[in-house]
Chain A
Amino acid sequence: MASETTVGAMPAGVHESHGVWGFTKAQLTALVLLVAFLAIGPFFLYPVFLMKLLCFALFACAFNLLIGYVGLLSFGHAAYFGMGGYIAGHAAKVWGLTPELAIVAGAIVAGFQGWVFGWIAIRRQGIYFAMITLALAQMIYFLCVQAPFTGGEDGIQAIPRGSLFGSISLSNDMAMYWFVAAVFLFGFLMIHRIIHSPYGQVLKAIRENEPRATSLGYRTDDYKLVAFILSATLAGVAGATKSLVFGIATLTDVHWSMSGEVVLMTLVGGLGTVFGPVVGAAVIVTMQNYLAEMGAWVTVIQGGIFVTVVLAFRRGIVGEIANVFRVKL
C-alpha cells in the first residue's frame, strides 16, 4: 500500500522550492494556464459542459487530498458528493436558501458525515479501510433510495439556481459559469494551501511512514481524521455545486460507481499531483460527453484507458509530464 501511493508523488532528486504562495515555478505556470482556460473556455465550449467538468475536477481534487497525500484509499466518496448535492438541492428548493448558502449547507452535512465515517474508518488501513468506507457509502445509498426528502429514484428535481447573495440571478448559463469557476478555484487553492502547510507536511510524513510519524510524537489518527473531514467537505461542495448547475440531484451521484469513477479520474490524471485530478476529470468527463453516442462502449474505452495508464503510465498524465521535465506539478 505504502509503496503504491508514493508513485508520482515526488520524482527523486527534485527539491521543493517554494515561490509565490507556496507554488513552485512550474506549478505557477500551470495555474496561469488553468486560469486562462477558465477565462476563455466558455467562449469556445458549451458552458454547461465546462461546469460539469469543473464540479468533477473539484471532486477529484478532494479525493486526491486523501489518497495522494495521506495514502488513504476511500472507496465511498460518492456518499459525500451525492449527499452534498441532495442537501444543497433540498436547501435551495424547499428552504429557499440562496445558492451560496445551499452549497455551504451541503458542505457542512458532507463534512459531518466525513467526521463520523472517518472516525470509524481510520482505525483500519489498506483494503480494510477501503471496504469500511464502501460499506458506509452503501448505507448512505440505501438511505437516499428510501428517505422521503431525496425523492427516491426521481431524485430532487427542479432545483432553482436562485440568485447569488440574493441579488445576482444565476439562471443565465454564463453567470452560473463564473460562479462555478470561482467555487472551483476557491476549493482548488484551498487544497493547495492545505497540502503545503505544516499540517500537509505531517500528512505526507504519515503517508510515507506512519509508525515513524507516530514515534515522532504526532497523533496520526487525529491528522488523518481532519484530512478525511476536509476531503469529505470539499467533495460535498463539488456535489452541491453540480446539483445547482443541473437543477437535479439523483441516485447516480451516491452510487458506488461514482466512487469508482473518481478513483479513475485521479489515477488517470496523476495521483498525488495538484493538477492531476483536474486533468483526469477533464479527460473522463470529455469522453463521457462526446462519446455518449457509442453507448456502452464508453465504459469499455474507460476500462481500456485505465489499464493502459496503470500498466504504462503509473504516474498518470500529469505525473508523467512532471517526471519528464523533472518538476513538481
Chain B
Amino acid sequence: MTELNRRHLLAAAAIGAGAGALPFRSARAQAANTIRIGVMNDQSGPYRDIGGPNGVTMAQIAAQEFGNRGFNVEVIGADHQNKPDVGANLARQWYDQGVDVILDVPTSSVGLAVNQVAREKNKVYINVGAATADLTGPQCSPVTAHWVYDTYMLAKSTGGAMVRAGGKRWFFITADYAFGHALERDTTNFVRAAGGSVAGSVRYPFPATTDFSSFLLQAQASRAEVIGLCNAGQDTINSIKQAAEFGLTRRGVKIAALLMFIADVHALGLEQGQGLVMTESFYWDLNDRTRAFSRRVQPRLNQRAMPNMVTAGNYSATLHYLKAVADMGAAAAKGPGVEVMNRMKAMPVEDEAFGRGTLRQDGRMMIPSYLFEVKKPSESTGPWDYLKLLQTTPADEAWRPLSEGGCPLVRS
C-alpha cells in the first residue's frame, strides 16, 4: 500500500464517518398529536417470512385505512435479529424516544424481554408473533396483549384433534430448549387427556441441527402414528422434508407440526407438505371477509404473499389500538400505557381478518382457532390455496382458562 492509497482510504473513511454522523443530528420532531407505532420483528433471519417487512407493511395499511381522526400515525420497523438483548435494548430506546406502542416481536425469548421493558416503562406492548403462553401467564403485565396464538392453543387444537381423528400413538421430535420443552409438555398433556399415548420423544441440540434422519428413524422404529414436531421455522421445514424423503408420510404416518405458518407451507411446497396438520387463528380463504381483506392487501406485500396469521394479526392489533387511541384522545394515549391497555380491553375487537374478539383481563385476545390440513397438489387450485379446514375451536375453548395461567393480574 502506498501513501497515496492510504490517503484515499482516509478521505473515504472521513466521508463515511460524516454520513454516519447524520442520524445524530436529525433530531426527531415529536408532535404531541403523532402516535408512533414500532414494529419489531425478524427482518433477516429464519422468521423473516412469518412477519418481517410484510409485518411492518400490514401495520401501515391498518394506519392508512384508519385515516386521520385528529392525530397522525407513524409506523416504523426494526430488526431484533432474534436476540433478546437486541430486542430489549431497542425497546428501551424506542420507548425513551417517543414510540407509543411496540408490535409483533416474534421469538419467545425476545417477546418476553420486550415485555419486561414495556412493564418498566409503562407503555403499550402488543405481541403478535411470539409463541410463549407465559406472556399471559406468570409473566403477564397490565400493558401487554397477546394477539393471535400461543403454545397452549396450538397444543390443545393440534394435539387433541389429532388424537380424536385416530392418531393415538405419538412420538415427539423436540428442539432442546425452553420453547420446545414447553410445547412438548403441553401437547403431551392434551394427547393423554384425549386418550392417546406417547411412544417416546427425542430432543435434538438446538440450534445448528440440520440432519434429522436419525431422529426420524427413531420415530419410525417406535411405530408411532403421529410425529409431533416441537420446533419452528427452518428446523420444522427440514424435518418435514426429510420425513418425506424417508417416505414416512406416504406410509400413513401423520406429521403434526405444532408451530407452522402458511409461509412455511409456501416454502415447503404442497408435494412435500401434503397431509400436514397445523393450527392457525387466521387463513385467508376462511370466509368472504378474510378473502376480501386478503385480496385487498396482497398487492402491497412483498412477493405478493397472502397475509398469514402474524401479518394479519399486526393489521388487527394496529387497528384496535388506534380505535382505543381515538376513543381516549391522542394526548391521553401518550400517557401511561396501563390506561390505554385498559381501554383496549374494554372495547370489543372487530375487524375483517379475525371477526369479533375480546381482549381478556390477562391480555389474551380471545378468537377461535382452526385446525387445518395441507392440501394434496391435486386439490389445490392455485398459488396460496394450501389448506383445508378440519375443525374449529370456539374462542371460549381455544385458550387456557383464565384461572389456570397463574397471571398475577387475575387475582387482584
Q: Which residues of A are in contact with B by a Cβ distance under 8 Å?
A: 45-46, 48-49, 52, 145, 151-155, 157-158, 173, 246-248, 250, 252-253, 286-287, 290-293, 295-296, 308, 311-313
Contacts and interface: CB of A to CB of B under 8 A. Distances in A.
Given A291-B20, A312-B9, A154 B88 contact: no
Given A152-B177, A154-B84, A312 B6 contact: yes
A313 B179 CA distance: 46
A157 B5 contact: no
Interface in B174-200: 177-179
Nearest to A308: B9
24 contacts: A45-B24, A46-B96, A46-B97, A49-B93, A145-B177, A153-B84, A153-B177, A153-B178, A153-B206, A155-B85, A155-B109, A157-B84, A173-B96, A247-B116, A247-B117, A247-B120, A250-B83, A250-B85, A253-B85, A290-B23, A292-B78, A295-B79, A308-B9, A312-B6
A230 B13 CA distance: 35
A155 B113 contact: yes
Contact of A248 (B96, B116, B178, B206): B116
Contacts of B92: 48, 246
A50 B9 CA distance: 28
A252 B20 contact: no
A48 B95 CA distance: 12
A246 B88 contact: yes
A296 B44 contact: yes
Contact of A295 (B20, B44, B116): B44
A145 B108 CA distance: 15
A250 B178 contact: no
B116 A157 contact: yes
B177 A250 contact: no
Contacts of A250: 83-85, 109, 113
Interface in B74-92: 78-79, 83-86, 88-90, 92
Contacts of B31: none
Given A157-B112, A248-B85, A295-B79, 17 more contacts: A46-B93, A153-B108, A153-B206, A154-B84, A154-B109, A155-B85, A155-B113, A157-B84, A247-B88, A247-B116, A248-B88, A290-B20, A292-B78, A292-B79, A293-B78, A296-B44, A311-B1
A245 to B, nearest CB: 9
A48 B120 CA distance: 15
Contacts of A153: 84, 108-109, 177-179, 206
Interface size class of B (residues with CB under 8 A): 20 to 34
Nearest to B43: A295
A271 B198 CA distance: 57
Interface of B: 1, 5-6, 9, 13, 20, 23-24, 43-44, 78-79, 83-86, 88-90, 92-93, 96-97, 108-109, 112-113, 116-117, 120, 177-179, 206
A97 to B, nearest CB: 19
A252 B85 contact: yes
A312 B1 contact: yes
Q: Which of A145, A157, A247 neighbours the largest number of chain B CB atoms within 10 Å of its CB?
A: A157
A286 B20 CA distance: 9
Nearest to B9: A312
Nearest to A293: B78
Contacts of B179: 153
A218 to B, nearest CB: 38
A246 B88 CA distance: 7
Contacts of A155: 84-85, 109, 113
Given A252-B85, A295-B43, A158 B78 contact: no
Contacts of B86: 252
- Nearest first, the 9 A-B pairs at minimum CB distance are A154-B109, A152-B178, A158-B116, A295-B44, A250-B84, A296-B44, A152-B177, A153-B109, A153-B177
A154 B9 contact: no
B178 A151 contact: yes
Nearest to A299: B44
Contacts of B116: 157-158, 247-248
A151 B138 CA distance: 15
A191 to B, nearest CB: 25
Contacts of B206: 145, 153
Contact of B89 (A52, A152, A290): A52
A88 to B, nearest CB: 14
A262 to B, nearest CB: 16
Contacts of A49: 93
B96 A312 contact: no
Contacts of B97: 46
B121 to A, nearest CB: 11
Nearest to A287: B20
B160 to A, nearest CB: 27
Contacts of B9: 308, 312
A46, A48, A152 pick with most chain B CB within 10 angstroms: A152
A308 B112 CA distance: 39
